[in-house]
Amino acid sequence: MSDRTDAPIEHDLAPGEEAQHTVGERILGYVVGLGLALLLTATSFFIAGTNLVWQPSIPVALIVLAIAQMGVHLVFFLHITTGADNTNNVLALAFGLLIVFLVVGGTVWIMAHLNQNMPPMDQFIRMHS
Amino acid sequence: MSMTATAGHTHADPHQIGRVVEHTGPAPKRIVTAYGFWIFLISDIVMFSCFFAAYAVLVDQTAGGPKGSEIFDQRNVAIETVCLLLSSFTCGMASIAADEHNRFWFYLGMAVTCVLGLIFLAVEFREFADLVARGYGPSRSAFLTSFFSLVGCHGLHVSAGVLWLLTMMAQVFAKGFRADILRRMRCFALFWHALDIIWVGVFSVVYLLGSGA
Amino acid sequence: MLGKLDWSAIPFGQPIPLIAGGVVLVGVLAVLMWVVVKGHLPYLWHEWITSVDHKRIGVMYILLASVMLLRGGSDAIMMRIQQAIAFQSQGYLPPEHYNQIFSAHGTIMIFFVAMPFVIGLMNLVVPLQLGVRDVAFPTLNSVGFWLTATGALLVNLSLVVGEFARTGWLAFPPLSELSYSPGVGVDYYAWSLQISGVGTLVAGINLVTTVLKLRTKGMNYLRMPMFCWTTLASNLLIVAAFPILTATLAMLLLDRYLGFHFFTNEAGGNVMMFMNLIWAWGHPEVYILVLPAFGIFSEVVSTFSGKALFGYRSMVLATMAICVISFMVWLHHFFTMGAGPDVNAIFGIASMIIAVPTGVKIYNWLFTMYGGRIRFATPMLWAVGFMVTFIIGGLTGVLVAVPPADFMLHNSMFLVAHFHNVIIGGVLFGAFAGFEYWFPKAFGFRLDERWGKLAFWFTFSGFYITFVPLYVAGMLGMTRRMQHYDVAEWRPWMIVAAIGMAVLSIGVICQIMQLVVSIRNREALRDRTGDPWDGRSLEWATSSPPPVFNFAFHPDVRGEDAYWDMKVHARKQALEHAVPEYHDIEMPRNSPTGFVCAFFATVMGFALIWHIWWMVILGAIGAFATFVVFAWRDHDEYVIPAAEVAAIDRVNLEERRSLVSMAGAV
């Protein structure tokens, strides 16, 4: 298995690999990514501690901001794009995210119902005492 | 696998109309290694999702102990977050330097990444030690159990990352920018950036959502 | 100094484990002595233990699975005898021992028989079918195997040092929490699964990457043999599901070791979350096992019917559909925990939906056979036996997927019969079919057909005699895991089941006899062409056993059933008379990394189980040092010169030429 980096274009990009860019362009990509990430982080911290926005919207806003920031990281730091040479990487990620969604969403949903119908012992005692 | 890298297409159908695109054969090692590591990262994220799920289920089970809003310190979290974000940036700089075979910028980028990672770990360790000292250790309640496990699991990953980072620097020092070393460097960068993504989930879901409630 | 370990850990008072352990120990020592005295040690070390060749590692996986099958089978025999005689009496197994046996039986059969068997077959066959020289990460492959072996070793160590879990094969809390299981049994269980789980994850990553990134020229996705597709699906499930197991067991261990409160009764812990998480792994796990079996049957049915697989694309679609839906049904394992009608209904419907793609597969196999020239060789017998058995198991599965029915049948012997029906009838029959089918490829000679057919018929009928009574007993209200019982009408069924177990054991003995007889007659059974079954995929295009580099050239694939295509057209390729131009081939070097790593993992696992903290640190440092040493190597490949490749390949071509011209004349 030799390492032919001069392989013709027909192969996909490796995960984290960028299409051909100059050093300057690559650094610029990271700078933009860092800027956006810091901005989104600052917004999250601000929203969490402020009274200026409608309070019930805060959790939703925080989750939206978190997802946005994850997207920024994926695009600018991990170089995940929608290009054809990235399809395999994106598909693997999509599969993983589907599983994450099923596990977290399913667990929260199931456990909420279970807790309601079959409360854990200490809650049960609290309810009946 | 260096097989017959026969160049040039013999087909007189440059736009490949009306025929199946033939697979070109095994991918080069550079792609294979990074892809394998990518799959590992995805499995790691699934593992984290279990700890997130456990946290979501147990977050209200304080058993008479403190709630999140009573123990979280926003300032600490902000410091940790900035450290990790900057370290992701410097790690990116180190990867560019590695691709350009520039030792100075590589060492500098990695060293700064390492220092930022260590600051993050120190702040987190102090937070944990402080909580335990106040009697709010993981055994206090199911909420604290899930909090310590989720955040601690991320911390363990960062520690492993620092260990890997130092090994990586030693390897470049001893072996130079060989093809296999560069492959590993790429995997390390993926790992470090992925930890950052997880941290975005942690500070949003645990610290920010938790301190509001 | 030695943590919780002292002389009381050795069960001097219990004759059964002591004698069993003693016999095994003597056996292992005898084999070791024989190896050393005969001077086989260097051969074993250089050619097998340190090998990174996917074929060798596959064989070692299957060997591990076979040995563990005997261990798990012994547990099964003991349980059947106990239940046959324990009517209004204590039988011969005291409760705490009986509980360890059913826990060990389940753990061993799933993690150390079924898993290594299918992973071994995938390792052995998939690179050959894809037309490449090895898996994506050869050394990691070896690490994965040896970590699996470590897990198996720790489970078996519990037989003589300490005890095994008494909690059932999934160690449900609160029973598995420290307050109710203070012994080391659950720790043995959890640590051996954590260590072997890492091995499984490594194997999964390796095979996913191999299928997606290492395919020969022209091997487009929709030209891959069905077994490669099911391997992809199964390993995607490994990658997605095993981290859940790791996380869940880690939580249980944190509860036990550091006083956390994930699943405890106190301080807000939630027992039900364990069931939820462990089954989020557990249900995909059954598809991890059965999907490769589906792939094996697809290959076998198509080869022995002499036809291309019917509905190839629908088969691919069905496989990938199962891969995703298998993550949406886990709640059906705990309908009775009380999630309520809407949750139960949705998971019940999802569980029934997953039967649809499975049904598609059954019809595809039947239509493949329809109009074919069917040869009933042993692998084909297993395939047909599977179809009959799996349909019954699948239908009882759809039955228990209906929540109201499940409330009646949950935790009963009916359920025990159901999952043995699908796991034996699906996974084990598949493993045996694959074993018979690919044995000539791995070793260069076929297996004896007469003993093989005997083994099939005894196993097949033994299975029904054992498990149909369990269905009946379940309907009569018998619950699972009973050490003794007082209901007279269950007894006859337990006796019939015990007789069935005896028939099954004869089947296993026939299988061992088959191996012995075949090895003795190996010259007569020699496969010189590399294609003993008139096969259709690329593994048959190379010699049996294949050279270390598998193929002198990466084959050029032009369609489905790549090798069949070549034979029919007698392709002017590697097989034609023109002397091909050979090149040097680079192959990965053997490495003791896997073995050394597993050694340290064993030390660390054992130390963690017994709370010997200094030894834990030692093991961890050792494992890390092994990785660093491995990472520091300068030469990870060696070159096979073109002349040597040519010499090896010519022999194969000569043998094969007659075969190709014969097929070409058709």
Write the pLDDT tens digit of every residue in C378-415.
Answer: 999 999 999 999 999 999 999 998 988 988 899 999 99
Cα–Cα nearest to C180, from C235, C82, C252:
C252
Residue of B nearest to C634 (CA): B175
Are C536 and C563 spatial neighbours (Cβ–Cβ below 8 Å)?
Answer: yes
Confidence band, pLDDT 50/70/90 cuts, at residue A129: low
Considering only CB atoms, which chain B residues are within 8 Å of A15? 34-35, 37-38, 190
Are C331 and A101 spatial neighbours (Cβ–Cβ below 8 Å)?
Answer: no
Alpha-carbon gap: C151 to the closest alpha carbon of chain B (Å): 20
Looking at residue A5, its pLDDT comes to 40
Contact yes or no for C213 and B139 at CB 8 A:
no
Q: Which residue has the tokens 């007569």?
A: C524
Q: Where do the DSSP E strands lie in C313-467?
A: none
Confidence band, pLDDT 50/70/90 cuts, at residue C662: low
Confidence band, pLDDT 50/70/90 cuts, at residue C24: confident
Q: For residue C526, what are the β-bridge partners? A: C445
Q: What percent of chain B has pLDDT over 70?
A: 90
ipTM here: 0.89
Looking at residue C291, its pLDDT comes to 94
pLDDT digits (tens, 9 = 90+) for C584-628: 888 888 888 889 989 999 999 999 999 999 999 999 999 889 888
Looking at residue A9, its pLDDT comes to 45
User: Cis link prior to C555 (omega < 30° from 0)?
Assistant: no
Between B39-53, C509-523, C651-665, the lowest mean confidence (pLDDT) is in C651-665
Looking at residue A8, its pLDDT comes to 41
Considering only CB atoms, which chain C residues are within 8 Å of A117? 338-340
Are C549 and C133 spatial neighbours (Cβ–Cβ below 8 Å)?
Answer: yes
Q: Where do the DSSP E strands lie in C539-661?
A: 585-588, 637-640
What are the DSSP calls for A78-107, one per residue?
S---SSGGGHHHHHHHHHHHHHHHHHHHHH
| CA C498/CA C84 separation, integer angstroms | 6
Q: What percent of chain C has pLDDT over 70?
A: 97
Looking at residue C376, its pLDDT comes to 92
Contact yes or no for B39 and C242 at CB 8 A:
no
Cα–Cα nearest to C104, from C185, C213, C23, C200:
C185
Closest in A14, A77, A93 to B92, CB measured: A77
| CA C301/CA C376 separation, integer angstroms | 10
The alpha carbon dihedral of B5, B8, B10, B13 has a sign of positive
Count CB-CB contacts under 10 A for residue C39.
Answer: 8
pLDDT digits (tens, 9 = 90+) for B96-125: 999 888 889 999 999 999 999 999 999 999
Listed by number, the residues of chain A in 60-89 with a beta carbon closer than 8 Å to a beta carbon of chain C are: 88
Give the 3-state secondary structure of residue C639: strand
Strands C637-640 and C585-588: antiparallel
Are C495 and C457 spatial neighbours (Cβ–Cβ below 8 Å)?
Answer: no
pLDDT digits (tens, 9 = 90+) for A43-52: 988 888 777 8
Are B46 and C242 spatial neighbours (Cβ–Cβ below 8 Å)?
Answer: no
pLDDT digits (tens, 9 = 90+) for A11-26: 677 777 776 778 888 8
Give the 3-state secondary structure of residue C409: helix
Q: Is the pLDDT higher at A48 or at B51? A: B51
Between A110-114, C129-133, C435-439, C659-663, the lowest mean confidence (pLDDT) is in C659-663
Considering only CB atoms, which chain C residues are within 8 Å of A113? 339-340, 342-343
Cα–Cα nearest to C297, from C418, C388, C223, C236:
C388
The alpha carbon dihedral of A75, A77, A83, A88 has a sign of negative
Are B117 and B162 spatial neighbours (Cβ–Cβ below 8 Å)?
Answer: yes
Contact yes or no for A113 and C339 at CB 8 A:
yes
Contacts of B31 (CB under 8 A, 6+ apart): A11, A12, A13, A14, A17, C213
Closest in C134, C208, C220 to B22, CB measured: C220
Q: What percent of chain C has pLDDT over 90?
A: 56
Mean pLDDT throughout A101-118? 89
Are B74 and B82 spatial neighbours (Cβ–Cβ below 8 Å)?
Answer: no
Q: What is the dihedral of CA B142, B144, B146, B151, to 10 degrees?
A: 180
Are C340 and A112 spatial neighbours (Cβ–Cβ below 8 Å)?
Answer: no
Are C377 and C338 spatial neighbours (Cβ–Cβ below 8 Å)?
Answer: no
Confidence band, pLDDT 50/70/90 cuts, at residue B60: confident
Mean pLDDT, chain C, integer: 89
Confidence band, pLDDT 50/70/90 cuts, at residue C576: low
Are C135 and C84 spatial neighbours (Cβ–Cβ below 8 Å)?
Answer: no
pLDDT digits (tens, 9 = 90+) for C459-503: 999 999 999 999 999 999 999 998 999 999 999 999 999 999 999
Q: What is the dihedral of CA C540, C541, C547, C548, to 10 degrees?
A: -80
| CA A39/CA C177 separation, integer angstroms | 45
Closest in C273, C327, C328 to A111, CB measured: C273
Residue boundaries of the structural domains of chain B: 29-212
Evaluate if residue C216 carries a pLDDT over 50. Answer: yes
For chain B, give percent helix, strand, coil, nearest 5.
75, 0, 25
Looking at residue C656, its pLDDT comes to 73
Looking at residue C632, its pLDDT comes to 84
> Exposed e or buried b for every residue in C74-95, given b needs 16+ CB within 10 A?
bbbebbbbbbbbbbeeebebee
**Across chain A, how many H-helices and E-strands are there?**
4, 0
pLDDT digits (tens, 9 = 90+) for C175-210: 898 888 888 889 999 999 999 999 999 999 999 999
Give the 3-state secondary structure of residue B138: coil
Looking at residue C35, its pLDDT comes to 87
Q: Which residue has the tokens 């995703």?
A: C324
Considering only CB atoms, which chain C residues are within 8 Å of B138? 254, 258-261
Looking at residue C7, its pLDDT comes to 79
Q: For residue C412, what are the β-bridge partners? A: C479
Give the 3-state secondary structure of residue C640: strand
Closest in C213, C268, C586 to A2, CB measured: C586
| CA C420/CA C417 separation, integer angstroms | 5
Confidence band, pLDDT 50/70/90 cuts, at residue B17: low
| CA B91/CA B111 separation, integer angstroms | 9
CB contact A124 to C (< 8 Å): no
Between C113-127, C499-513, C514-528, C628-642, the lowest mean confidence (pLDDT) is in C628-642
Q: Which residue has the tokens 């069960």?
A: C11
User: Cis link prior to C545 (omega < 30° from 0)?
Assistant: yes
| CA C145/CA C546 separation, integer angstroms | 21
Mean pLDDT throughout C438-455? 92
Are C3 and C609 spatial neighbours (Cβ–Cβ below 8 Å)?
Answer: no
Are C297 and C319 spatial neighbours (Cβ–Cβ below 8 Å)?
Answer: no
Cα–Cα nearest to C314, from C367, C238, C251, C387:
C367
Burial bucket for residue C622 (CB in 10 Å: 0-12, 13-18, 19+): middle
Q: Which helix (H) or strand (E) holds C512?
A: helix C491-520
Count CB-CB contacts under 10 A for residue B10.
Answer: 5
Are B56 and C229 spatial neighbours (Cβ–Cβ below 8 Å)?
Answer: no
Are B53 and A103 spatial neighbours (Cβ–Cβ below 8 Å)?
Answer: yes
Looking at residue A54, its pLDDT comes to 80
Mean pLDDT throughout C633-644? 84
Q: For residue C217, what are the β-bridge partners? A: B24
CATH of domain B29-212: 1.20.120.80
For C84, C95, C331, C416, C473, the CA distances from C492, given in Å and listed in that order, are 8, 22, 34, 18, 9
Are C256 and C177 spatial neighbours (Cβ–Cβ below 8 Å)?
Answer: yes
Looking at residue C571, its pLDDT comes to 54
Looking at residue C150, its pLDDT comes to 93
The encoded tokens of residue C633 equal 């190597």
Considering only CB atoms, which chain B residues are within 8 Å of C621? none
Annotate C153-200 with three-state secondary structure.
Answer: HHHHHCCCCCCCCCCCCCCCCCCCCCCCCCCCHHHHHHHHHHHHHHHH
Confidence band, pLDDT 50/70/90 cuts, at residue B1: very low
Burial bucket for residue A27 (CB in 10 Å: 0-12, 13-18, 19+): middle
Looking at residue A80, its pLDDT comes to 81
Evaluate if residue C119 carries a pLDDT over 80. Answer: yes
Confidence band, pLDDT 50/70/90 cuts, at residue C238: very high
What are the DSSP calls for C244-268, one per residue?
HHHHHHHHHHHHHHH---SS-SSTT
Which 8-state DSSP code applies to residue C447? Answer: P
Evaluate if residue A53 carries a pLDDT over 90. Answer: no
Evaluate if residue B212 carries a pLDDT over 80. Answer: no
Which 8-state DSSP code applies to residue C425? Answer: I
pLDDT digits (tens, 9 = 90+) for B159-185: 999 999 999 999 899 888 888 889 999
Cα–Cα nearest to C234, from C168, C294, C291:
C291
The encoded tokens of residue A109 equal 């949903």
Closest in B24, B54, B184 to C217, CB measured: B24
Looking at residue B19, its pLDDT comes to 58
Give the 3-state secondary structure of residue A21: coil
Contact yes or no for C340 and A117 at CB 8 A:
yes
Q: Which residue has the tokens 């199911």?
A: B142
Looking at residue A127, its pLDDT comes to 61
**Chains contacting C with at least 3 CB pairs below 8 Å?**
A, B
Confidence band, pLDDT 50/70/90 cuts, at residue C665: very low
Alpha-carbon gap: A52 to the closest alpha carbon of chain C (Å): 35
Mean pLDDT throughout C35-43? 87
Q: Which helix (H) or strand (E) holds A124?
A: helix A121-127
pLDDT digits (tens, 9 = 90+) for C339-359: 888 889 899 999 989 889 999
Kindly report the backbone phi and psi dihedral angles of residue C578, in degrees, each rounded to the nearest multiple of 5, phi listed first.
-55, 130
Confidence band, pLDDT 50/70/90 cuts, at residue B4: very low
